[in-house]
Structure 1
């Protein structure tokens, strides 16, 4: 910066103003400084200047998975919500591994981000609080009890209820649920399913899988090979799992929904394709991202109060995988 000031014949303070795009500099002086900087190959250290103002205008965003496009939808919502705020985003993937998640959060904090947004966090509240070390946070898809950390999610219990109510209304009484692994802290969809089944006096049937298309296909193939009585309808934890279930059924020559109706959850774009036609519970992923972005902007600006929870209402999207008339 000293060399730029000397070459332009101005003070170091004026060069600093130009590099910060201050409106207090005349056009002639600004041109002289920029031309001198270009001639000397000078590039300002933006991180240093941001740290000097106690803000880096950078946010860390942790996604559970990038293979599931619901997180791409959340990212789109975050981008829309942060547009024009002057904040940049750094992204990490947790892969449903609490240790990987916490390493990413600690790295974000070490890099002095202004806040951390987590979409699909699987660890504990205590570990998250320790990793954040007071850095503002927003958790998407899960309700957390951590000081300074807001929660933004869709009512997953209601999602499970909606799926069962829809299938029951179509005449189904043997309704199975392809659930996620027991250790994952996302049990509300299962709880909603169990509640609705009990309300209708139906016997629940749970099978566990991971959250992938491959996992859904594998668990359904195992079930079909077991000789157990086939359910007339299946509610899967997410759309990818539901699509895997549909693939396994098709592989055995079973028709959807003629032999088995299938309902997913998330309402990803691929599931809505006419080629798939998957009935799904819309989680409003893009809106989740937008609401989370605003919550973060409020928190880092100091206008937010105590940690809060914002919960959206899910919506049933009926397609031909459950209702041939759809």
Structure 2
């Protein structure tokens, strides 16, 4: 069968092979394979030459063939709750870095607890994914060690160190301190903190545990140990709205809140709006994550930025290194920064 340009259909559908790329680039097939795997020891010149030949020939590696050679070039990303928009920021960073290294990313969610998390991770392993990134997972450190002993793993959001997996986390102690110190500098003393409490037990190293510790430490350092006020709830819009209702009902309510996460802070703002509480004239609100909605002019939420895209990209980079053979564990902490907007101001009467 002939095509419009006079060629045959078989000529047009013939798929370029590694041998074709090697011949076109003037290198060995082994060199092309190293470039495809992102192996160490490949020079920038070699990589550029092979990639140029791939582009010219329209070469696409066969996922099946790669899988048969021991690599599927796929990464699994597990996340507890996709309703939290900060998760999408982390995933964007992971996906961008993974694709630069020739990997596809598949995402799984398990919001119903530890049992569903185990099923999801087992499904990723069964599908021969080369490695997994666990974003703020449930379970103990021993649970995570067991997963990592069988599959290259990076844990994003929980603090390390670990023997078998890498960790990437924001410095949540410092982030909470930035919030408390900012509010104290404005004149606040009665500062509350909303701590995430969900279906599963809070384990050491989880961000909610570390941020709460950072809040308590900062309150004590500022001489406000008598004003420590931790409310347990959910880092969600409904959780924030409920916390707002509880604070408004108090005889002597706080004048500011470290909401723990932006999703909760947005819920607090909604709850205060419904109750007729003015922000920041009557009450100051600070979030954590600096999601896109926080920067909207009509919101203007003061928040802690923990460089989500960079954290995600770093997690993917570490995972690729693990897949390629690195075994020593790496524990990385990213420095946060406070972004001050219009939801914080001096308390009434100051």
Instruction: With the length of structure 1 as denominator, give the TM-score of the two structures.
Output: 0.83
Residue 188 of structure 1 pairs with residue 214 of structure 2: no
| Alignment CA distance shift 1:274-1:93 (3 Å) | same
| Alignment CA distance shift 1:19-1:208 (3 Å) | same
Query: Which of these residues, 18, 23, 31, is aligned with residue 20 of structure 2?
Result: 23
Give per-residue Cα distances to partners, 1:181-204, cap 9 Å, x unaligned.
Answer: 173333111101000111112120
CA contact (8 A) 2:193 2:259 kept: yes
Q: How many positions carry a matched residue from both structures?
A: 291
Query: Which of these residues, 131, 136, 153, is aligned with residue 137 of structure 1?
Result: 153
CA distance in 2, matches of 1:64, 1:21: 39
Q: Does 284-293 or 99-108 show the bigger shift?
A: 99-108
Query: Which of these residues, 75, 85, 89, is aligned with residue 105 of structure 2?
Result: 89
Which residue number in structure 2 is paired with residue 157 of structure 1? 173
Residue 236 of structure 1 pairs with residue 259 of structure 2: yes
Alignment of 1:116-265 (within 5 A): 116-181=132-197, 183-185=201-203, 186=206, 187-202=209-224, 203-225=227-249, 227-265=250-288
1:129 to partner: Cα distance: 2.9
Which residue number in structure 2 is paired with residue 104 of structure 1? 120
CA contact (8 A) 2:131 2:323 kept: yes
1:208 to partner: Cα distance: 1.0
Which residue number in structure 1 is paired with residue 344 of structure 2? 322
CA contact (8 A) 1:106 1:131 kept: no
1:86 to partner: Cα distance: 1.5
Which residue number in structure 1 is paired with residue 322 of structure 2? 299
| Alignment CA distance shift 1:25-1:278 (3 Å) | closer
Query: Which of these residues, 82, 86, 89, is aligned with residue 66 of structure 1?
Result: 82
Structure 1 portions without partners, runs of 5+:
1-7, 9-14, 28-43
Q: Does 117-126 or 189-198 show the bigger shift?
A: 117-126
1:158 to partner: Cα distance: 0.9
CA contact (8 A) 1:96 1:122 kept: no
CA distance in 2, matches of 1:60, 1:22: 30
CA contact (8 A) 1:94 1:121 kept: no
CA distance in 1, matches of 2:112, 2:86: 15
Instruction: With the length of structure 2 as denominator, give the TM-score of the two structures.
Output: 0.78
Give the RMSD, CA atoms, in angstroms: 2.3
DSSP 3-state at the match of 1:23:
helix
CA distance in 1, matches of 2:188, 2:170: 26
DSSP 3-state at the match of 1:242:
helix
DSSP 3-state at the match of 2:77:
strand
Give per-residue Cα distances to partners, 1:140-159, cap 9 Å, x unaligned.
Answer: 11124543310001101111
| Alignment CA distance shift 1:144-1:199 (3 Å) | closer
Which residue number in structure 2 is paired with residue 80 of structure 1? 96
